Amino acid sequence: HRVSEERFLTKLEDYLSEKEADRVLRTMIDWGRYAEIFAYDFNTGFLSLENPGKLL
């Protein structure tokens, strides 16, 4: 259950400027980490579910 931040960024850039898409993605990452929905690896740029069973 991992996904690259580039996948989200590409989708966001379909609707937003590159700068705005990056800002929205950073906000999403910050909020998701705060809520413990997912983890983010700053070195690899991958997001992963903290506890996949918890969301089901």
Inform me whether the pLDDT recorded for 43 exceeds 90: yes
pLDDT tens readout for residues 20-39: 999 999 999 999 999 988 89
Inform me whether the pLDDT recorded for 56 exceeds 90: no
CB-count exposure of residue 31 (10 Å: 0-12, 13-18, 19+): exposed
Looking at the whole model, is its pTM more than 0.75?
Answer: yes
Inform me whether the pLDDT recorded for 54 exceeds 80: no
Inform me whether the pLDDT recorded for 55 exceeds 60: no
